[in-house]
Amino acid sequence: MMKNRLRTLLLIVIVLLETAGCHRFASTSSVDLRRFTPGVETQESTIIESTPIPETISDLTLDSAVEETLRIYPLWIGSSWVYQYLGYNESREVIWRVVETVVDTGFIEGYYLVEMERTAELVEGYAPDGFLSTPETGTFWFLVDGANLYRYEYETDVNLDFSNAWLDLVIPLPGAEGTWYPDPDQRVDSAGSTAGSRSASDPFKKVLPMGGTYTCYNIATQYPDRTEKGTFCETVGFVYKESTHFDMVYGYWMELEGYTLQ
């Protein structure tokens, strides 16, 4: 009788230990299996489904002038340009890999708005603190008003008061017959000055290293203390830019190495 009682007690202890062990294993799981079970709704999926869908390009109709601007300069979300950037001064040259990417697009009161992100990766050399030819990085915005492409450095500045906006490009480019002033102050009162004016050459054909022949323009901005110029190709974008300061010898040049267009 005693042996039977001991055997029964031992079986009870074993069962309790196994049950406790199973409980420990079950409590360590942090995966919500409902996420992987069709037809089972979770709080997470409810939040996602209830998020308002942002305004998209398909919701609005682009007018013909904006469509032409975006055909010539494909500022669609996902488009990306990769450049080799060489910054220099009297004592050194430093090379970066610069990438410009359209990370978002949308509309502001019917105008097409582009959010552009610019990153830079040091490839060769050393840039000390205060090196004036370091590439600018961060986020900036383009707003397309028909043929005019305005640029904003800060999101808080984006508005429809174009009299205070930087006019980066006029597309289609006017060729040698036309000039414009990017600086809003000069657009109001330029007094016929060439300083600060921007112009484009007549179109010419250019074969890009990555393949293809394109219609391109040389674009130059006139300043008394420096030169700023570049080459823009239709349906691609800028393939070259350079800037040289005269008083303190420093500047940069950047050349397109590759691109992905949407």
Express each pLDDT in 126-149 by its tens digit.
Answer: 999 999 999 999 999 999 999 999
CA 195/CA 192 separation, integer angstroms: 9
Strands 237-245, 250-260: pairing kind: antiparallel
Given a contact cutoff of 8 angstroms between Cβ atoms, the answer to whether 179 and 167 are in contact is no
Nearest to residue 136, comparing CAs of 163, 159, 154? Answer: 154
Q: Residue with structure tokens 């069962």?
A: 15
Identify the pLDDT of residue 191: 61
Q: Which carries the bigger pLDDT value, residue 57 or residue 175?
A: 175
Identify the pLDDT of residue 50: 28
The 10s digit of each residue's pLDDT in 184-230 is 988 877 666 778 899 999 999 999 998 999 999 999 998 988 999 99
Given a contact cutoff of 8 angstroms between Cβ atoms, the answer to whether 231 and 239 are in contact is yes
Identify whether 172 is preceded by a cis peptide bond (ω within 30 of 0): yes
Identify the pLDDT of residue 30: 29
- CA-based Rg of the chain, rounded to a whole angstrom? 30
The 10s digit of each residue's pLDDT in 52-107 is 333 445 456 788 999 999 999 999 999 999 999 999 999 999 999 999 999 999 99
Strands 237-245, 226-233: pairing kind: antiparallel
Identify the pLDDT of residue 164: 86
Identify the pLDDT of residue 60: 62
Q: Which carries the bigger pLDDT value, residue 254 or residue 63?
A: 254
φ/ψ bin of 112: left (φ > 0), alpha (ψ from -120 to 50), beta (otherwise): beta
Identify the pLDDT of residue 242: 97
The three state secondary structure string of 15-32 is HHHHHHHHHHHHHCCCCC
Mean pLDDT lowest among 9-13, 104-108, 118-122: 9-13
CA 254/CA 135 separation, integer angstroms: 10
Q: Give 189's DSSP letter.
A: -
Q: What dotted CATH number matches 57-260?
A: 2.40.360
Identify the pLDDT of residue 193: 73
Q: Which residues contact 34 (CB under 8 A, 6 or more apart)?
A: 40, 41, 42
Identify the pLDDT of residue 177: 78
Q: Which residues contact 113 (CB under 8 A, 6 or more apart)?
A: 105, 106, 107, 141, 142, 143, 144, 158
> Does 5 score more than 90 pLDDT?
no
Nearest to residue 244, comparing CAs of 92, 119, 130, 88? Answer: 88
> Does 249 score more than 50 pLDDT?
yes
Q: Give 13's DSSP letter.
A: H
The 10s digit of each residue's pLDDT in 25-60 is 332 222 232 222 233 333 332 222 222 333 445 456
Q: Across-strand partners of 107?
A: 112
CA 105/CA 70 separation, integer angstroms: 12
> Does 258 score more than 90 pLDDT?
yes
Token reading at 58: 């398909």
Q: Which carries the bigger pLDDT value, residue 113 or residue 20?
A: 113
Q: Where are the domains of the chain?
A: 57-260
Helix (H, G, I), strand (E, B) or coil at 113: strand
